[in-house]
Amino acid sequence: MAEAETKSIDNASIKMIDKAASDGVNTAFDRAETKKPCPIGVEGSCCKHCGMGPCRVPPPKGRQETPEEKQKRRGVCGATAETIAARNFIRMIAGGAAAHSDHGRGVAEVFLAVAKGEAPGYEIKDEQKLLQLALDWGVDIGDRSNQEIAINIGEIALAEFGKQEGQVLFLNRAPLKRQELWRREGAAPRGIDREIVEIMHRTHIGVDQDYRNLLRQGVRASIADGWGGSMIATELQDIIFGTPAPVLGRINLGVLSRDEVNLIIHGHEPLLSEMVVVAAQDPEMIALAKSKGANGINIAGMCCTANEILMRHGIPLAGNFLQQELAIVTGAVEAMVVDVQCIMQSLTAVAECYHTKIITTSPKAKIPGAIHIQFDEHNAMESARAIVKTAIENFPNRGSNIDIPKEQTDLVAGFSHETINYLLGGIYRASYRPLNDNIINGRIRGVAGVVGCNNARVKHNEAHTTMVKELIKNDVLVLQTGCSAIASAEAGLMTPEAASKYAGEGLASVCEAVGIPPVLHLGSCVDNSRILIAATAMVKEGGLGDDISELPVAGAAPEWMSEKAISIGQYFVGSGVFTVFGVNWPTLDSEEVSKYLFEDFEAIYGGMWAFEPDPIKAAHLMIDHIDKKRQALGIDKARERVLFDMAMRRELEGA
Ligand code: BF8
């Protein structure tokens, strides 16, 4: 096997890894070889929270530790391995929750500016969702204008971040039983920022020293992310940019164009990318591109920003996290514009080997060697035009060392909660009833959320696609976001035809009747909030218990790497979902903390973590959990009786 084939399962990526090698370009794939992870840090037993450390407290390997040894195995301040593991773990949650929530705050600020008429170029696109949110938050509708209502909503949304008392408003959307559990366990977040700050306080030297108490705060902050910051981001983005509906798209490095200006939009916040998409369609810009010898302007997305503009505009998607450097290696990218999160600092070094310009736009995220064109939401179109112009003017500098892989795959994206509702029930009787019915009768065994990143420590995209294929083969409907969704789309799992090719007979029959792929793309990482809402809708529809923890569902992030993934996993678990992570696990050096997360959490939250790097085994842990829930609901027998005769098929098609 050629070296590159050990690093990715994706042919386009393999070709570009090879090209990078022959061009002498260093990428994350190379660095992962030369830079091995610290074996102590990776399992959570290194504390560097004060100037007396770093203190490393790993247990002895390969033999039983004596009680005396364990007693002495502490940091200089006396912190035990359990405290250190729990502190490190919840600091990851704080980092992840902060990233998602600061994104949500940015959206809320722009939303308020739009409502006040201070952000030209943006508008309220989804009135129905605006009014729904007004109802949810008790905002008076009466005969007030959309603008007036939106001002109230924007102010309430912004206040959610700094709130000190009460509880985050969107918790009200969860099943009642879940809300009671959160309050009983002290896991109901008061305000979004408060819970994140409290993690930083409690994990400072000499504060909270009980790992259970630390982990409880981790759950609380993660709920503030999923049911707070991320949900605010998703909801307000839908209102100003439109709620996604099914859209046909193309994906992978083959979407780059040989004869057009290629501008890649990379990062997370759609505030800027929405405007860049509009600016690139301006006839004046297209004429400028032609004057430089290009045939037009080709916008392509990367990572979660890509998911946002794919879902709403069908803009082609160039790749996921580990493909960001590879896109530049094609030699055909005039500019890559970035905002925040998951942007490799090496982009500027890779770009130096070609003609690509890296453009940063956020005052929060600058990169030495990049051009900075600050994005100003009050003058968004001007920033967007300056970015597009920079890309166009760079077209004549394109060299001759160009190789765009031909690989690109079709996909259907845009499955918001609202869309799933309409698709299943129809416009006039939108409902989750058909989904619940098909789960109860066993055609669909359960639902899995497979999400998260790429991780250079494991073969690019392999765990995602292996796990997803195994799940759908076993009649589990898969919902996806983030880089995981991109991996499945690149493997061709997000077309309606994938149902007959890869899904089990029961799932395939439902997908074919409804006309959906067996793997649904729900958006970016903040859109994991859509999975929470979908799970809640299943509970509210009835017949599958009265809490998320009773549903036959499971979650996974088989190639996770970011702190955001840990926060997401924790709010899945804290919402009652069994969740499996791959690659490595950051508390493994503390048996007690790991046992608490993997086992004891179930009795408290109804959901618990698991760690399993083998994607097939991980898929079967999820399937076993789904079967356990089916049995508890008394619907396991229905599955055994599923036989697809013509009458059943006709009944399905009429559903
Ligand atoms: O927020 S899946 S690598 S791009 S962190 Fe990052 Fe992970 Fe991708 Fe999107 Ni989410």
Across all residues in the chain, what is the average pLDDT?
Answer: 95
* Residue 205, helix vs strand vs coil: coil
Give yes or no for a contact between 545 and 551, defined as CB atoms under 8 angstroms apart: yes
Ligand 1 center to 527 CA (angstroms)? 11
Mean pLDDT to the nearest integer, 161-179: 97
**The pLDDT of residue 426:** 63
pLDDT for 22-40, tens place per residue? Answer: 999 999 999 999 999 988 8
Alpha helices in 116-162 (DSSP H): 127-136, 146-162
Helix, strand, coil % over all residues of the chain, rounded to 5:
55, 10, 35
124: which DSSP letter?
-
% of the chain exceeding 90 in pLDDT: 90
Buried b (16+ CB within 10 A) or exposed e, 479-495: bbbbbbbbbbbbbbbbb
Q: What are phi and psi of 440, to 5 degrees?
A: -65, -40
Maximum Cα interatomic distance, the chain, rounded to a whole number of Å: 77
Check whether 484 has a pLDDT greater than 60.
yes
User: What would you report as the CA-atom Rg of the chain, rounded to the nearest whole angstrom?
Assistant: 24
Give yes or no for a contact between 359 and 370, defined as CB atoms under 8 angstroms apart: yes
Task: Report which ligand 1 atom has the smallest distance to the Cα of 454.
Answer: 3
- Rounded Cα distance between 44 and 52, Å, is 18
- Tokens 């809320």 — which residue? 108
Tell which one of 453, 457, 531 to mutate to probe ligand 1, the residue whose CB is within 8 A of the most ligand atoms: 453
Task: Report which ligand 1 atom has the smallest distance to the Cα of 481.
Answer: 2
**The pLDDT of residue 648:** 63
Mean pLDDT to the nearest integer, 585-593: 95
CATH topology (fold) of 253-397: Rossmann fold (3.40.50)
Mean pLDDT to the nearest integer, 10-20: 98
pLDDT for 255-287, tens place per residue? Answer: 999 999 999 999 999 888 889 999 999 999 999
Show me where the domains of the chain are located. Answer: 4-67, 81-241, 253-397, 419-633
CB within 8 Å of 41: residues ≥ 6 apart: none
Ligand 1 center to 452 CA (angstroms)? 6
For residue 252 the two structure tokens come to 């992978």
* CATH 3.40.50.300 is held by the domain 419-633: no
Confidence of residue 377 (pLDDT cuts 50, 70, 90): confident
Check whether 646 has a pLDDT greater than 90.
no
Ligand 1 center to 68 CA (angstroms)? 43
* Residue 454, helix vs strand vs coil: coil
383: which DSSP letter?
H
Give yes or no for a contact between 318 and 302, defined as CB atoms under 8 angstroms apart: yes
**The pLDDT of residue 647:** 63
596: which DSSP letter?
I
Strands ordered across the beta sheet of 371-372: 371-372, 357-360, 335-338, 261-266, 297-302, 317-319, 247-251, 409-413
Strands 55-56 and 46-47, by their bridges, are: antiparallel
81-241 and 253-397 agree in CATH topology = no
- pTM of the shown model: 0.96
Give yes or no for a contact between 224 and 104, defined as CB atoms under 8 angstroms apart: no
Mean pLDDT to the nearest integer, 350-375: 96
- Tokens 């416009």 — which residue? 427
Tell which one of 317, 341, 342, 450 to mutate to probe ligand 1, the residue whose CB is within 8 A of the most ligand atoms: 342
- Rounded Cα distance between 4 and 329, Å, is 14
Q: Which residue's CA lies nearest to atom 6 of ligand 1?
A: 342
Check whether 645 has a pLDDT greater than 70.
no
CB within 8 Å of 309: residues ≥ 6 apart: 265, 270, 273, 274, 277, 299, 301, 315
| Segment among 44-53, 72-81, 429-438, 444-453 with least mean pLDDT | 429-438
* CATH 3.10.510.20 is held by the domain 81-241: no
Task: Report which ligand 1 atom has the smallest distance to the Cα of 562.
Answer: 5
Mean pLDDT to the nearest integer, 503-513: 95
Confidence of residue 1 (pLDDT cuts 50, 70, 90): low
- Evaluated on CA atoms 208, 210, 211, 213, the torsion sign reads negative
- Rounded Cα distance between 24 and 389, Å, is 30
**The pLDDT of residue 430:** 73
What burial class does residue 67 get, using C-beta atoms within 10 Å of its C-beta: 0-12 exposed, 13-18 middle, 19+ buried?
A: exposed
The full 3-state SS of 254-269, as one line of letters, equals HHCCCCCEEEEEECCC
- Using CA atoms of 413, 323, 17, 401 in order, give the dihedral in degrees to the nearest 10: 100
Residue 170 corresponds to which amino acid? F
123: which DSSP letter?
-
The full 3-state SS of 2-67, as one line of letters, equals CHHHHCECCHHHHHHHHHHHHHCCCCHHHHHHHCCCCCCHHHCCEECCCCCCCEECCCCCCCCCCH
**The pLDDT of residue 490:** 98
Check whether 419 has a pLDDT greater than 90.
no
- Rounded Cα distance between 490 and 30, Å, is 23
Give yes or no for a contact between 76 and 63, defined as CB atoms under 8 angstroms apart: no
- Rounded Cα distance between 470 and 467, Å, is 5
Confidence of residue 449 (pLDDT cuts 50, 70, 90): very high
- Rounded Cα distance between 378 and 382, Å, is 9
**The pLDDT of residue 417:** 87
pLDDT for 124-133, tens place per residue? Answer: 999 999 999 9
Task: Report which ligand 1 atom has the smallest distance to the Cα of 526.
Answer: 1
Check whether 653 has a pLDDT greater than 80.
no
- Rounded Cα distance between 509 and 596, Å, is 40
Is the distance from the beta carbon of residue 482 to the nearest atom of ligand 1 less than 6 Å?
yes
Check whether 529 has a pLDDT greater than 70.
yes
**The pLDDT of residue 643:** 58
Give the residue among 537, 573, 574, 540 at the shortest CA–CA distance from 555: 573
Give the residue among 643, 564, 20, 592 at the shortest CA–CA distance from 322: 20
- Tokens 């027998």 — which residue? 637
Check whether 638 has a pLDDT greater than 80.
no
Is the distance from the beta carbon of residue 95 to the nearest atom of ligand 1 less than 6 Å?
no
Mean pLDDT to the nearest integer, 111-136: 95
Beta partners for residue 357, in sequence order: 335
- Rounded Cα distance between 606 and 177, Å, is 11
